[in-house]
Amino acid sequence: DTEVTQTPKHLVMGMTNKKSLKCEQHMGHRAMYWYKQKAKKPPELMFVYSYEKLSINESVPSRFSPECPNSSLLNLHLHALQPEDSALYLCASRPGVGNTIYFGEGSWLTVV
Amino acid sequence: RKEVEQDPGPFNVPEGATVAFNCTYSNSASQSFFWYRQDCRKEPKLLMSVYSSGNEDGRFTAQLNRASQYISLLIRDSKLSDSATYLCVVNLQTGANNLFFGTGTRLTVIP
């Protein structure tokens, strides 16, 4: 059974706060992703980790900081966000570059 | 030019209707293709992969036309529960960032 779990499901934070989004998968997938999705838009790639190393950073502002502590975990550290950063943040994983990608349920972030 | 183009809709169809979505891709090196379904305020979920010979899963049929570089999804006998956004996803052969999403097509099935 494929499962990517994300916490928290909902997060409200002020512009001066520091918070983190967490993602976990135990499927042995070696590629893990962070996407940002705004309403009525497709997911937009932020970061890709491949074998625990950051392989893609899609020109994401430094107020977003990814971390991959081990092959099962992926974090997204948030600091000094702006209201326009409010969105659904999706974690995803897949076994390899040619395979299906599996999404977590997402974390709804609201920046106030 | 976008890697993947998809008609955003919306498509509003009555229950029982047949509806088809198309998606075109620009890179002939594209290797694998998928349809995802996304319900409102939920994550995208894999609906089906698209194989060269075409494939069917119940009321859903996916087709790939490599010569014309498009994929399609056909839904027969639409149900109210089919209402969702359908995203086509194209996977290039190489590159770490090799997944490209269409904008999604919004389907509403009306009673």
At residue A2, the pLDDT reads 58
Asked if residues B7 and B107 have their Cβ atoms less than 8 Å apart, the reply is no
Verify whether the Cβ–Cβ distance B97 to A101 is below 8 Å.
no
Tally of CB atoms within 10 A around B25: 25
Verify whether the Cβ–Cβ distance A90 to B44 is below 8 Å.
yes
Q: What is the pLDDT of residues A66-94, one digit of tens each?
A: 999 999 999 999 999 999 999 999 999 99
At residue B98, the pLDDT reads 82
How close does chain B come to A90, measured CA to CA in Å?
A: 7
How close does chain B come to A17, measured CA to CA in Å?
A: 25
What is the number of residues in chain B? Answer: 111
Asked if residues A90 and A70 have their Cβ atoms less than 8 Å apart, the reply is no
Q: Compute, in degrees rounded to 10, the torsion defined by CA atoms B92, B27, B66, B38.
A: 60
The DSSP-derived string for A68-86 is EEETTEEEEEEES--GGG-
At residue A27, the pLDDT reads 92
Position B99, amino acid: L
The residue among A52, A86, A101, A110 with the most chain B CBs within 10 A of its CB, best to mutate, is A101
Asked if residues B102 and A42 have their Cβ atoms less than 8 Å apart, the reply is yes
Of the pLDDT bands very low, low, confident and very high (cuts 50, 70, 90), residue B96 is low
User: A7 CB near a chain B CB, below 8 Å?
Assistant: no
